[in-house]
Amino acid sequence: MPVWTDLGENWTANVLFGSRSPDTTLKIGLYTAPTSEPGETATLSDLTEPSGNGYSRINLTRGSWTISGDTATYSEVTFTASGGNWGNVYGYFICTSTDGLLLAVEQFANGPYNVTDGSSIKITPKIRIS
């Protein structure tokens, strides 16, 4: 499961207990660097995403998550390279859509995946709230 970043913990606290409004849509994306899992202090600028060849972040719509106990799960999302290769993809991240705050990040346990033209990566995002 993804690791919460400090920004993600702060954002969540401000939505729950402060005056910040939640984003109606979060985004999920992939990263090709760094090659090791980013730490809790990571920001979106610390990550390198695939460029071109059909890559774009995917929307995660608020209210579409399934909550069970302390875990929120989203339906499977699929990233597909089209028109060229993305190279080695090491993991994925979840960020806000309004101001690009990195909320959570996970390195693939059995990656990286070398994504070539026409191949896909499928992810079922899960976040533990504990």
pLDDT tens for 4-47 read 999 999 999 999 999 999 888 999 999 999 999 999 999 999 99
Res. 99: pLDDT tops 90:
no
Pairing outcome for strands 25-31 and 91-96: antiparallel
Q: Any idea where the domains of the chain sit in the sequence?
A: 3-128
Q: Express each pLDDT in 40-89 by its tens digit.
A: 999 999 999 999 999 999 999 999 999 999 999 999 999 999 999 999 99
Q: For the chain, what's the residue count?
A: 130
